[in-house]
Amino acid sequence: MAQDNRHPFLQGLSKHRGAPPTVITIFGASGDLCKRKLVPAIYNLAVDNLLPADFYLIGYGRKPMPDATFRELASESISKFSRRSLNTEIWDRIEQNTYYCSGGYDELEAFKNLSAKIESIEKELGRDVQSVFYISTPPSVFEPIIENIGAAGLAIRHQDSDKHTKVVVEKPFGKDLESARHLNRVIGHVFQERQVYRIDHYLGKETVQDLLVQRFANSIFEPLWNRQYVECVQITVAESLGVGTRGGYYEQSGATRDMIQNHTMQLLALTAMEPPVSLDAEAIRDEKVKLLKAIKPLRFGYENSDVIRAQYTEGLIDGEKVPGYKQEEGVSPSSETETFGAFRLNISNWRWEGVPFYLRSGKRMARRVTEIAIQFKRPPSTLFSENEMFNLESNTLTFQIQPDEGSTVLLNAKIPGLQTRTQPVKMHFKYSATFGSNTPEAYERLVLDAMIGDGTLFIRGDETEASWSLITPLHEFWASEKERGMENYVSGSWGPLAADRLLWDNGHEWRRP
Ligand code: NDP
Ligand code: BG6
């Protein structure tokens, strides 16, 4: 049998999975996400031969634009942002099936034109195609888009086949519990839940998926994965970038809505949930919801608060001076938006009662790193001298989600020599060393899964609500208290001192990854 030398991602996928003929319509096609992530993702799927033979791309936006201009923009974005360079032969095949439709997001007539376009594609092809609608606009227009997809009859096409319509909804999914519930209701009026793909692009990252495999495909971890052996868990999602050109959006959002309610909570849910009965989408989502619901309500206020929020001030990143948050474009000079959040969570279930879960996420931190660290309890102190006990570090299993993907176990070992002296050492598994670099981007996997109809890596409606239930009371408190409780941290640091104190209360310390 011929050896399959392609990336392991592809070896697993292409033999078993295939999407039916598909038209993807991207709403907000002139936007940043479409340009930087979605078009390059589609192109890379084409390079890997993972697109269906009959594949069509329609960009949709308010500005009128000829097909040729959109094609040109798409090819430029591939040249600029794709992880693999533009191969004109492959791009030509997609390009000839790429179109642009213009119209308002609240203009039913324009959606009827879109429907006519999809029907004309079907007619030309002589067979049915599935429609995937990717909503990549600011959230203010999610609702009219969904309603107009429904009103134009696009949601119920080919309902009883694998070519039924799918809708992909970008984040943020609501800004609080009430708005998330409302959006779920609006979606529920138009679509069945099996048609809905709520994006959290962290779930598309290879290393996040590997977390499930490492947890459940190895028997050595499960016996230790509980309150008897785990001292605490730390989840860090740190960025060195600031808000860049997204100041306007970020002012309404802040770190808690932008990163903690979604990406960081998803990492927590996958780390702490019970083993699912299968790897099916529903089984995994059931366990995540159970876990999110078991998190105790946050304590906030000034005594014993479980939450610290802070804003970056000017500082140095990689030796370069960077402005403070209040000086960023689109940000109010008196802004009270947090760019950093640190949380201490307690999970009230049999496995985790009493084990603190620490979460932190921020912009302009010392470096870009996302990791999950399981810190185990220290061994009894009967065998080593007091001095050596001091040198021993807690065993820690760390999953490096990005940028140096892999996992590490920290152990204590004997330093060679006549005396029994110890030193912490690390056992590493490095993704790129074992599987090669140039791993597919999260959006590639997610676009493919939506086309195939696999919702495992997407968020179910009740998951978003469970996560908002935890965060919303905090936002209500902050809205009522305004400025008080906001800390500062210097750009290029690991956050404010108050975030360190949050752990010192329990005798713990943040890792310095
Ligand atoms: P943009 O601000 O670039 O907007 C996308 C498109 O939506 C614009 O090109 C414009 O298209 C249309 N649009 C912009 N503002 C409005 C408005 N006020 N009313 C109606 N239409 C508007 O957004 P992004 O591309 O950055 O993000 C799209 C979605 O993806 C958002 O929900 C965002 O939160 C999410 N997201 C983005 C990420 C990113 O890195 N950019 C990362 C993760 C999620 P036109 O004028 O042609 O109609
Ligand atoms: C997005 C946030 O969801 O995730 C951004 O809106 C953030 O503010 C981005 O920069 C981080 O994603 P990644 O994949 O670069 O870690």
CA distance 333 to 336: 9
200 close to ligand 1 (CB < 6 Angstrom)? no
Are 102 and 61 within 8 A, CB to CB? yes
The DSSP line for 100-132 is: EEE--TT-HHHHHHHHHHHHHHHHHHTS--EEE
Measured in Å, residue 215 CA sits from the centre of ligand 1 at 36
Asked, for residue 46, whether it belongs to a domain, the answer is yes
466 Cβ neighbours under 8 A, 6+ residues apart:
289, 292, 293
Q: Is 222 helix (H, G, I), strand (E, B) or coil?
A: helix
Above pLDDT 90, what percent of the chain? 84
Query: Are residues 473 and 326 part of one domain?
Result: yes
Q: Residue 201 CA: which ligand 1 atom is closest?
A: 43
Q: Residue 237 CA: which ligand 2 atom is closest?
A: 16
pLDDT band at 412 (very low <50, low <70, confident <90, very high): very high
pLDDT by residue (tens digit) across 319-358? 999 999 999 999 999 999 999 999 999 999 999 999 999 9
- Determine the pLDDT at residue 274: 97
- Determine the pLDDT at residue 156: 96
Q: How many domains does the chain divide into?
A: 2
CA distance 73 to 26: 14
Domain end marker among 170, 188, 215:
170
Q: Where are the beta strands (DSSP E) in 247-389?
A: 307-313, 315-317, 320-322, 340-346, 356-362, 369-376
Q: What's the CATH code of the domain at 366?
A: 3.30.360.10
CA distance 370 to 356: 19
Asked, for residue 115, whether it belongs to a domain, the answer is yes
- Determine the pLDDT at residue 17: 56
Query: Are residues 213 and 98 part of one domain?
Result: no
- Whether the pLDDT of residue 285 is over 90: the answer is yes
Nearest ligand atom owner, CA of 60: 1
Q: Is 416 helix (H, G, I), strand (E, B) or coil?
A: coil
Measured in Å, residue 81 CA sits from the centre of ligand 2 at 16
Specify the residue with its C-alpha closest to ligand 2, atom 15: 239
Are 289 and 466 within 8 A, CB to CB? yes
The boundaries of the domain holding residue 209 are 203-382+461-504
* C-alpha of 491 from chain center: 23
pLDDT band at 421 (very low <50, low <70, confident <90, very high): confident
Q: Where are the alpha helices (DSSP H) in 14-158?
A: 32-33, 39-47, 67-81, 88-95, 108-125, 142-151
CA distance 385 to 392: 11
Asked, for residue 424, whether it belongs to a domain, the answer is no
Average pLDDT, the chain: 93
Specify the residue with its C-alpha closest to ligand 2, atom 6: 258
Measured in Å, residue 402 CA sits from the centre of ligand 2 at 12
Measured on CA atoms in the order 7, 9, 14, 16, is the torsion positive or negative?
A: positive
Out of 25, 27, 30, 33, mutate this one to test ligand 1's pocket (max ligand atoms within 8 Å of CB): namely 33
Out of 32, 111, 135, mutate this one to test ligand 1's pocket (max ligand atoms within 8 Å of CB): namely 32
171 close to ligand 1 (CB < 6 Angstrom)? yes
Asked, for residue 404, whether it belongs to a domain, the answer is no
pLDDT by residue (tens digit) across 349-370? 999 999 999 999 999 999 999 9
Domain end marker among 145, 170, 195:
170
- Determine the pLDDT at residue 8: 52
Known catalytic residues are 263
Of 4-8, 148-152, 382-386, 393-397, which gets the smallest average pLDDT?
4-8
Measured in Å, residue 236 CA sits from the centre of ligand 2 at 13
Query: Are residues 268 and 152 part of one domain?
Result: no
pLDDT by residue (tens digit) across 47-86? 999 999 999 999 999 999 999 999 999 999 999 999 999 9
CA distance 144 to 28: 13
Domain end marker among 170, 191, 225:
170
Q: Residue 139 CA: which ligand 1 atom is closest?
A: 32
Residues within a 6 A CB radius of ligand 2: 171, 239, 258
pLDDT band at 15 (very low <50, low <70, confident <90, very high): very low
First to last CA, the chain: 44
Asked, for residue 275, whether it belongs to a domain, the answer is yes
pLDDT by residue (tens digit) across 133-192? 999 999 999 999 999 999 999 999 999 898 999 999 999 999 999 999 999 999 999 999
- Picking from 145, 113, 116, the residue whose alpha carbon sits closest to that of residue 27 is 145
33 close to ligand 1 (CB < 6 Angstrom)? yes
Measured in Å, residue 249 CA sits from the centre of ligand 1 at 10
pTM of the model: 0.93
pLDDT by residue (tens digit) across 456-503? 999 999 999 999 999 999 999 998 876 568 999 999 999 999 999 999
Per this entry, what is the length of the chain? 513
